[in-house]
Chains A and B, each alone.
Chain A
């Protein structure tokens, strides 16, 4: 079966971002960019499905600027067979991305689509669910285990009180949680080979998708800073402060 994996280029998770002085957004100039960590887990899961003989082809797709080709090449080096970039310079909302992915799903007809549960920049946690709604497919969000058998997939999901397992008819949408797997690193030979794998570039216009949005970001501010604390010398002093100064115990 064919598996489609969506990946996003985001600011590296170790970077502490700064808000721009004019409050128009965060400053991403000269900041290290990487594949969103949840997307790495999605690629890894697809590659494992291929290694098990469940998946026959892995197509990786990204919606973003032309520089997102770097992240697609990374996914190809990890084991994806070919890549699609839907080139879009604007900062798209999750719904617009979901509509673009829906157009790619219509074109590619995958049996399984794997996305990360959220991107660490917008922290939206929406795209997978929206794609599932637009496609009319079942959704297995926050997956910690994925098992394909016949024409269904059993997905174990991380929920607030523990874990839940659902069974979905294929084709279906799965979004990954952190504990689904441990992503591998790309080896140098595979990075070289990935340069020769096919990478198709599409535009929203070519897919016939409008990326108009009902949301507008008015401003972006830095969060209120916490006032500096103190270091106490002993447990006794800590307890005294918590009781008499902070009055929280």
Chain B
């Protein structure tokens, strides 16, 4: 068995989610190869070669892959993937975009967002916003799988010494082109990788009030998230949304402030180790999953909390 892992990267650095995906591959067992597709990705390939447990790094360095457009990358992965038992990618926006296209080209069903490996062909994944866990078995010749990062502890980024091999194949479907992107700038830890996450909801009342959460987050070294209500109201950008349709997080500590705790929000954070809820409505559903609940006005509680931690 040999497993192909698609590296998550921005042409400069390997994203941490790649380490969780390699960890899932290690649980399946067998040789692990990593594919780095992009443009001018020498540094990414070097970093990928150092990941513990990786035996080979394939590098497809081509202008057609610069923005990892699925129309161009999927044929490459499908072509290379035929020789593998499994193809794995992180369930990031990139992985979700590309991998189903690969699966369809290989004419196999995909298994999305696995949270555990039961055996080489059997996996667990959440369905219905995490309210049920399905065990799925695949008899596909090539098993195509996306991996939920929070389900697997990352492997070490250092210690490996894989061989790096260039892949010549260049696919340019010519059906799509990159126009531009607007990335949110943040000095705080990345939401999905943070040890502590402080999230605000509708109860924050406006975007300006999020400064109280930023101040608390900076003191704790935490990332700041939000509920859909806060995003829809325009308090914060949508890449901060935690939930079924946003990011899935599982930090050591999740502090939900002014968040009622709808099913769709819980889907994104209920695997956090410790959950704290601060809400003035003592009937809010968030208190049913919170380890520590505080019924209080957040505008008094948050500044006080910031002083005491």
Contacts and interface: CB of A to CB of B under 8 A. Distances in A.
Interface string B110-128: 1111000000001000111
Interface string B69-103: 11100100000000000000000111011111111
Interface in A117-147: 117-118, 120-134, 136-139, 141-142, 144
A21 interface: no
Chain B at the A interface: SS class = mixed
Contacts of A168: 175-176
Given A158-B238, A246-B253, A19 B132 contact: yes
B215 interface: no
Nearest to A11: B128
Contacts of A128: 100
Chain A at the B interface: SS class = mixed
A165 B179 contact: yes
Interface in B270-292: 270, 273-276, 282, 287, 289-292
B104 interface: yes
A189 interface: no
B295 A231 contact: yes
A238 B292 contact: yes
Q: How large is the interface on A (under 10, 10 to 19, 20 to 34, 35 or more residues)?
A: 35 or more
Interface residues of B, number: 89
Contacts of A231: 282, 287, 292-295
B60 interface: no
Given A11-B128, A129-B97, A133-B105, A217 B112 contact: no
Contacts, number: 254
B168 interface: no
Given A168-B176, A220-B127, A232-B294, A242 B132 contact: no
A107 interface: no
A222 B140 CA distance: 27
A208 interface: no
A165 B93 contact: no
Contacts of B231: 179
Contact of B309 (A26, A219, A239, A246): A239
A226 B294 contact: no
A169 B100 contact: no
Contact of A221 (B97, B133, B275, B305): B133
B136 interface: yes
B186 to A, nearest CB: 9
26 contacts: A93-B109, A95-B108, A123-B113, A126-B103, A129-B97, A129-B98, A130-B100, A130-B110, A138-B175, A139-B70, A139-B71, A141-B97, A158-B239, A162-B182, A165-B181, A179-B232, A214-B109, A216-B136, A220-B133, A221-B132, A223-B133, A229-B287, A231-B292, A232-B294, A235-B304, A242-B309
Interface of A: 11, 13-14, 16-17, 19, 26, 93-95, 98, 117-118, 120-134, 136-139, 141-142, 144, 154, 157-169, 172, 177-179, 213-223, 226, 229-236, 238-239, 241-242, 246, 248-249
